Chain A
Amino acid sequence: MTDQPDLLAQFSNALATRAEAAESAVVAIRLAHERHITGMLWHSGIVVASEQSLPRKDEFELVAPGGAVLSAKIAGRDPSTNIAILRPDAPIASPSIVAGAARTGAIALTIGADGTGGASARLGLVNLAGPEWHSSRGGLIDRRILLDVRLARREEGGPVFDASGSYLGMSTFGPRGQVIAIPTATIERIVPQLAKDGRIARGWLGVALQAVAVPDALRETADQSGGLMVMSVVENGPAAQAGILAGDIILSIDGTSAHRLRKIARHFGADSIGRRADLRLIRSGAVMTVQTTIAERHAA
């Protein structure tokens, strides 16, 4: 026998202590049919949640740490970064939040709300910490954080902590059930704008686009090898009003080649609203230019 402390027991106790403390960091957001998702307590009494999983309602019931039930109103949602915020009717104490930097291979403790005022915990690694990326809805996410952890639907939207208890971000589901974190930096950037305006303004044409190769016969006239084919046009949207048709292949928008999706996405920031945009496109074998006016995108 030695007096050496058992490292595994220490590790386990440390995790359990962290999970217990994290109870004060989450709320349950009640949905219909006895279900819930998790909300993350943020600065100044705001609750942050995963936008994609929050039903389109104005008001929700929350279960605060300890089990008190109160109601909260949606104060803003941004599908482009998957962040929604709610304002509870009565104040809930916010924990102190320190942003942590995700490192590949580092431990990630993912916390969810259990629905009765307590927390549930998941242990995994940061599977991959990468550079910034653009979501399919055009939002800029400050870092790519993939987590090596399973997550229940009810746990989505909770905080992800690193080993020192700093916030790596908010857990959410990526494509094919992959678990990712929306970085704390992104939440810090988006929440104040959402709290002020209720939304993140973005430009909108009202089209769904898919990248296609320009047919060989038109490559010379088009002077590029790829474009974005219009798959659908939203009725009465700016594109529809300008006469854009499904099947048109957009080559460039105001001179920016439609080849580069990210550049195009940047073209549709808040400052684009109301601006005229020239769309160079291929329609029935001819290259033409159509003028549109960028409108404001409304919540999906």
Chain B
Amino acid sequence: MFKRSEQDKRPPVQIFVDGVAVAARQGDTVSAALLASGVDARRSTAVSGAPRLPYCMMGVCFDCLVTIDGVGNRQGCLVPVAEGMRIEIQKGKREIGR
């Protein structure tokens, strides 16, 4: 859906999406890294289980909710990637304890 411009010279950052290594760039938000990666990053909603991807990318729509380093319901569009970060695509509502 999206590709990186060749002029982007930012250093690489490795994150893990559902256990699989994915190349991101320093300064990417989690949501941007997921959309750039080509992996199926669709979460499913808490209400009906409908698939969703980020809609606004600016912190207002909450369609980017994702589990980051074991913590659910994080707004992926507001969190920068970090080396070794573990991302899980959140299916349904946040689970108790994570």
Whether both chains belong to one complex is answered with no
Which residues of A are interface residues toward B (Cβ below 8 A)? Answer: none
Which residues of B are interface residues toward A (Cβ below 8 A)? Answer: none
